[in-house]
Amino acid sequence: MRRVAIVGLAPTTVHEAPWDDPEWEFWCLAWAITRRADRYFEPHSYWDTGGYYPNGETREAALEWLSELGASLYMAEKVPELPHSEALPWDDMAALTGKANGQREPYVESTIGAMLAMACLELDPGDKVGLWGVDLDVNGEYAFQRPNAEYYIGFLRGKGVSVFIPRKSALLSTAYPEHGRYGIEQ
């Protein structure tokens, strides 16, 4: 049984990830400093501007940062200067949504969405995914990123993969918690 921890940067739950449990694989953001990672993800085509990386905003600084990560790196495409980089399987991820209109672009709206799509492709019934540091509260870009992540959470659960979401996470929660269940007027 595989256990995959998908880790973001939300301070509400990132500290609760099972960092010291060797049974978990850690999939993390390439621009985040984490305690450990087995895979990093950087799906942005503009990675080489270095804007996310703590050590500068040049291609050379980004290459230096990414080359020192020490784990597999999943990117929009393989980068020759980064031998540990691999291209994300965009066509396989596109097939997950099964759109009837022939659209071949994957339904991926964030790096977390890319991680979850990879989990859908790789994990089997009985495996487990946990999301820590992932809230995607519905402000700004999270308004379209959150439903994407929630789609893949449902996909994984439908496939028989157990998905853990901490109570403090905004994922799969009502927009109006003060009212309780939908349809109840307060």
Report helix, strand or coil for 29. Answer: strand
Instruction: Note the pLDDT of residue 178.
Output: 66
pLDDT in tens, 50-106: 667 776 678 888 888 899 998 999 999 999 999 999 999 998 998 888 765 666 688
Instruction: Note the pLDDT of residue 72.
Output: 95
Q: Are 166 and 13 in contact (CB under 8 A)?
A: yes
Instruction: Note the pLDDT of residue 176.
Output: 64
The pLDDT of 33-61, averaged and rounded, is 84
- Summary mean pLDDT of the chain: 88
Instruction: Note the pLDDT of residue 33.
Output: 82
Instruction: Note the pLDDT of residue 182.
Output: 67
Distance, CA of 29 to CA of 43 (rounded, Å): 10
Instruction: Note the pLDDT of residue 159.
Output: 97
Which positions ≥6 away from 8 have C-beta within 8 Å? 14, 29, 32, 112, 131, 132, 133, 134, 135
Please give the residue that has the higher pLDDT: either 37 or 140.
37
Instruction: Note the pLDDT of residue 102.
Output: 62
Instruction: Note the pLDDT of residue 21.
Output: 98
| Strand ranges (E), the chain | 3-7, 24-29, 39-42, 72-75, 85-87, 128-132, 162-164
Distance, CA of 69 to CA of 80 (rounded, Å): 16
In degrees, rounded to 5, the angle at the alpha carbon of residue 92 between the alpha carbons of residues 124 and 79 is 110
Instruction: Note the pLDDT of residue 180.
Output: 66
Instruction: Tell me whether strands 39-42 and 85-87 are parallel, antiparallel or unpaired.
Output: unpaired
pLDDT in tens, 105-159: 888 999 999 999 999 999 999 999 999 999 887 666 677 788 999 999 999 999 9
